[in-house]
Amino acid sequence: MQNSLLFSQKRVNGEVRLFAYKGNVYVKGRSSETEKLYSEQEASMDSLEDFSPVDTTGFIGIQTIRLKKYGLQKAEEGENLSRA
């Protein structure tokens, strides 16, 4: 286990900017001089030529099952999930 963790982090480097507010921590940005794991152009669905929104329906359906169960559990506990 330890070796796999060390191997997975071998190329990890860079800087992460955080913002702490009222007991929460938010990631404000990430950067690395050598690793280019994120491309704004590739992350945008507008630039993908062979992407169809229909491709996501299976993933969305699976996530919906999990989120509905979570919502029902929270409602049973008396928690209000609306952000009004």
Sequence spans of domains, the chain: 2-76
Within 10 Å of residue 7's Cβ, how many Cβ atoms? Answer: 9
Q: What's the whole-model pTM score?
A: 0.36
Q: Would you put residue 27 in left (φ > 0), alpha (ψ -120 to 50) or beta?
A: beta
C-alpha–C-alpha distance, residues 64 and 72, integer Å: 12
Highest mean pLDDT range out of 22-26, 41-45, 75-79?
22-26
Residue type, 27: V
DSSP for residue 36:
-
Digit-coded pLDDT (tens) for 65-78: 988 998 899 889 88
